[in-house]
Structure 1
Amino acid sequence: MSHDMRRHNIAGTSPWEAVVGYSRAVRVGQVVHVAGTTATMNGEVVGVNDPARQTQVVLDIIAAALAQAGARLEDVVRTRIYITDMTHWEDIGRAHGKVFGHIRPAASMVQVAALIDPRHLVEIEAEAIVS
């Protein structure tokens, strides 16, 4: 069985993709990497001061990027969750669990000093293997 090993870049809506030089997601073969994703839609931060809402928006954006790459949330094998305030871990963790509770990817959650916009409370990366 031969797999297509060409690189497929999946664009998002961020104007920063061209400036910084990244793609929302990249698929090579059966593997999809989704870039760090924040709760930013149409240039606006969604869910300011609401870590659970931001997490849900982030995961919706990730799900859409995966779909564009021919993958599903069920294909996700790893997430990396970056948060700016560890006191929000439970709200963010529960929102992650609503999406991934039955999928159970390997996951990390770490506190970082800051994200690009101070209104961002969470940023998530995902990796998927399409079966």
Structure 2
Amino acid sequence: MSRRLISTGSPLEKTVGYSRAVIDGDFAFVAGTTGYDYTTMTMPADVTSQSRNCFKTIEAALKEGGFEMADIVRATYYVTDASYIDAHFAVCGEVLGDIRPAATLLVVSALAKPEMKVEIEVTAKRRSV
């Protein structure tokens, strides 16, 4: 299977030179994904909505590459304030509670834009059938 690039269509992907996801064989590598809502083209103010949007974008990229959320084996979470952890983890539990990938959370001083509070990066491996 060849390497395949997945895009959200964001002009930033071409400008910066990255893909939302790269599919390589049985692996999917999804780039750091923020809480931007591509339906409304807005960034919600609250952490819960941003976290949900991250997972929505990740799920779309995985599906386009032929993967499911259940294929996620690793997740890295970035939040810009420790006070966001509980709200973020509540969404993680809703989405990944049965999947339970290896995961790391980091509290960072900032993301690319001040309104960004959460970023999620995942790796998925296609399950054997």
Q: Normalised by the shorter chain, which TM-score bucket?
A: over 0.9
1-structure distance, mates of 2:9, 2:42:
13
User: How far off is 1:12 after superposition?
Assistant: 1.2
Of 74, 78, 88, the match for 1:78: 74
The runs of at least 4 aligned residues of structure 1 exceeding 4 Å deviation read none
* TM-score, with length taken from structure 2: 0.93
User: How far off is 1:53 after superposition?
Assistant: 1.0
2-structure distance, mates of 1:45, 1:95:
19
Equivalent residue letter for 2:120: I
Q: Which runs of 5+ in 1 are unaligned?
A: none
Of 43, 46, 50, the match for 1:46: 43
| Deviations, residues 81-116 of structure 1 (Å, cap 9, x unaligned) | 011001110100110110000000011110111111
Q: Which runs of 5+ in 2 are unaligned?
A: none
Identity %: 38
1-structure distance, mates of 2:100, 2:8:
25
User: How far off is 1:13 after superposition?
Assistant: 2.4
Equivalent residue letter for 1:122: V
* TM-score, with length taken from structure 1: 0.92
Matches within 5 A, 1:1-131: 4=1, 6-42=2-38, 44-48=41-45, 50-131=46-127
Aligned residues: 126
CA contact (8 A) 1:39 1:55 kept: yes
